[in-house]
Structure 1
Amino acid sequence: MATMTAAEKRAQAKAEYDAFLQACPSRMLLDQISNKWVTLTVSALGGYPPPEPGADHAGGPRPMRYSELARRLAGVSQKMLTQTLRSLERDGLITRTATATVPVTVTYELTDLGISLHQLVRSLKGWAEAHMDAVLENRATHDARAS
């Protein structure tokens, strides 16, 4: 039996990622990134759609402060936003930058990895918004039949 180098072992494990398998790490990542607060946070940091008319930013990924994210993500609790930002930072999807001001200024920004996820999330968000009327009609039809 041939001995494998560490790089070869990593390459083999990567080729064998299969989210349908219970112990696969990609399944855990898929579970995390499908969380609504992760999805909405990545979407907000992606900057789409552009800010209010007359704003100095034309849309696209940009750094945001915690309070700005909290306002953008209606209904998120402080605890949930903090947990979400920490997990995104741990996975390398965002960076947290603290600037020595009084008080300290902290901003969050998508990394290149986060931007690649944002492109997918943006499509999913757009699909949900575009098809919500059809889903609501189907729900009403189904519920009417069920009763």
Structure 2
Amino acid sequence: MRNTTTQADGVPGGEHAPVRFDTKIAVLLRDDLESWQRLNVTAFLVSGLGTVVPEVVGEPYEDADATAYLPMLRQPVLVFEGAKETLTGAHAKALSRSLATSVFTSDLFATGNDRDNRAAVRAVGRDALDLVGLAVYGPRNAVDKVIKGARMHP
């Protein structure tokens, strides 16, 4: 997937010009999660994005003392919330548009490692997943259509 950036007015600018991405990273969380669950689910959902779409990861960071830090996603992650039905609909739309999608189901709160997480998801059919969160990456307009009906996380 392509991930280009342009200045807000579409004209190339200097190094301090505003950056506008033609792609979007959105996380949609079920609105009945506890605070700790929201944070945990968000972290898990975006963690795999850079392995599948490496261009979303920026350069490593360094402070003024030359201490090196890991790179991070190079564009904002927008976090939304919605009812269970909103997540179910968004999931179906994301898959129908072939967007890069990650899911977190309620079953994953009871597991403690990647192997068991994958087995828990694999044990349930696509339409029966008890989704508590999903992340979607793709062209901005397509992602907007997927998360339509959700509201920005407070």
Give the TM-score range, shorter chain.
Answer: under 0.3
Task: Select the structure that is richer in strand.
Answer: 2
When normalised by structure 2's length, the TM-score is 0.25
Query: Over alpha carbons, which structure has the higher Rg?
Result: 1
Instruction: Give the TM-score taking structure 1 as reference length.
Output: 0.26
Give 1 or 2: higher helix fraction: 1
